[in-house]
Structure 1
């Protein structure tokens, strides 16, 4: 068994216009003061992290490492959640997702898709230069508007959507394979890959590609009412990243999983700061340790009640408290005896 690394924190929700949240150096120093050993970096904010420079330049990567080394943190992974989303957008969402893309490609579906594919290629190259082994992203969605089968879905609609999704992602997966980096899809509502069944369907489309892996975030399983512990048992070999995010699901007489179009505070299912929701992190850390997961435990803050500063401050200690120092020996080794094949046969009466 191996010991999970951490605590670490995903920076996406903390980037802002004021210091210390407006520079990588400031964010890293702030994270270190909260007790974090690693930071997961989004790649859609060039003022924080220049993806193009990281893909092209060892000098830039060394500069980034130097900034982080100075405050005692390291990069856990890079993230292309936004760019991955834009690789596959259903026309119903074109206008809503348009602000995620550069102005030069907005309104042009093909150009946006090509830009996103280029960004993902850069992310593979940057991850390799930085010596990272895993990368976080979203799958995008072509079939999501048809999640509920009413009106009845035409035969072949979902199959066509996943076939196209596979075509778009296969070359990206190959690029990450060349870089020696696992591409980890965060299974997330709004994405075509949002649960085990949809991930399995996609995995078949990419011929079981060895770089097609999972970012495990139990909060999304709570909101979908899935068994996140059984999910670890089934998909442990594909889980290469871990977001530590809490959630709660409290159905009422008026709403359940779908939420009745309510805002986050008033939904039956809502994200919470770690320790304030229903996720059994003790069991999760135990299972991941049992199965040899040695990646990072990365806090993602998305609470609709508690402030981000409080969530981050409390989260470091809570994650550290859940990390299990994995044993390298069996508790009953002291009573062990050596037995020859002949002795075993004799004891069993089969010799």
Structure 2
């Protein structure tokens, strides 16, 4: 067994235009000062990272790693959540998702998709140059508007959507394979890959691709009332990334899973800072240790109530307290009597 690495933090929710959040150098000082040992970098944020340069320049990647090493930090993964989202966009969301892409491709879904595919492929190259072995992203969605079967879906609509999703992602997965990096889709509402069933539908269509894997984030399972502990039992071999994020679900007589179009504060299901929600992290970290998870425990902070700086400060000690230093010996080794095959035979009455 291996001890999970951490604590680490995803920078996406903290990057901004004001110091210390507006450069990799200064935001790294900030997170290191709170006790984090790793950072997950949003590859789309040019204030922190230049993905185009990283895909081409080993020197640039070495410089970034050196900058962070001087502060006692490592890169856990790069992230292409926003670019991955744009690999597959239903027309109903075109206007909203244009904001994830450069202005030059706004209003042009085909050009936007081509840009996104190129970005995710570049992330595979950059990850290899940085010595990383896993990469989180979103799958995008073509079938999501039809999540509830009313009106009745036309026959084959979901199957055709997943066929097309696989067609778009298979060449990308091949690039990740060429670079020795696992692509970990965050299983997330709003994506076609939003639970175990949909992940399996996709995995089957990409031929069980070895690089098609998962990011495990229990908060998204709380909000859709999925058994997140059993999920680890089922999919542990495919879980390559881990977001440590809390959530709660408190249904009422007026609203449940769908939330009634309410804002985050008023929804029955809402994200919370670590320790403020309902996720059983003790059980999760135990299962991750049991199944020999080799990656990082990465805080993704989102909370409807708490200030992000407080959430970040509380996150490092929370994760550190939950990381299990795995044992090298069985707890009852003190009582071991040594190996004696003849004794074993006598105990069982074997001549």
Aligned to 1:120: 120
Query: How far does the alpha carbon of each residue in 1:289-338 deviate from its partner, in whole angstroms, 9 at most, with x for none?
Result: 11101210000011010000000000100000001110011111122234
Give SS of 1:237's match. Answer: helix
TM-score between both structures, scaled by the size of structure 2 = 0.98
Within 5 A, what are the aligned runs for 1:218-257?
Answer: 218-257=218-257
Q: Does 1:138 align with 2:141?
A: no
Within 5 A, what are the aligned runs for 1:254-265?
Answer: 254-265=254-265
How far apart are residue 113 of structure 1 and its match?
Answer: 1.1
Structure 1 distance, partners of 2:66, 2:31, is 16
Give SS of 2:270's match. Answer: strand
How many residues are aligned here?
351
Is the alpha carbon distance of 1:350 and 1:145 closer, same or farther for their aligned partners in structure 2, counting shifts above 3 Å?
Answer: same
Give SS of 2:89's match. Answer: coil
Structure 2 distance, partners of 1:105, 1:150, is 33
Unpaired runs of at least 5, structure 2: none
Within 5 A, what are the aligned runs for 1:61-72?
Answer: 61-72=61-72
4+ long deviations beyond 4 Å: 339-343
Give SS of 1:13's match. Answer: coil
TM-score between both structures, scaled by the size of structure 1 = 0.98
Query: How far does the alpha carbon of each residue in 1:76-98 deviate from its partner, in whole angstroms, 9 at most, with x for none?
Result: 00000000000000011111111
Q: Higher mean Cα deviation, 104-113 or 225-234?
A: 104-113
Structure 1 distance, partners of 2:106, 2:340, is 72
Query: How far does the alpha carbon of each residue in 1:222-269 deviate from its partner, in whole angstroms, 9 at most, with x for none?
Result: 000010000001111011110000000000110000000000000000
How far apart are residue 348 of structure 1 and its match?
Answer: 2.2
Structure 2 distance, partners of 1:111, 1:261, is 32
Give SS of 2:324's match. Answer: coil
Give SS of 2:237's match. Answer: coil
Structure 2 distance, partners of 1:48, 1:316, is 21
Within 5 A, what are the aligned runs for 1:1-351?
Answer: 1-341=1-341, 343-351=343-351
How far apart are residue 47 of structure 1 and its match?
Answer: 2.4
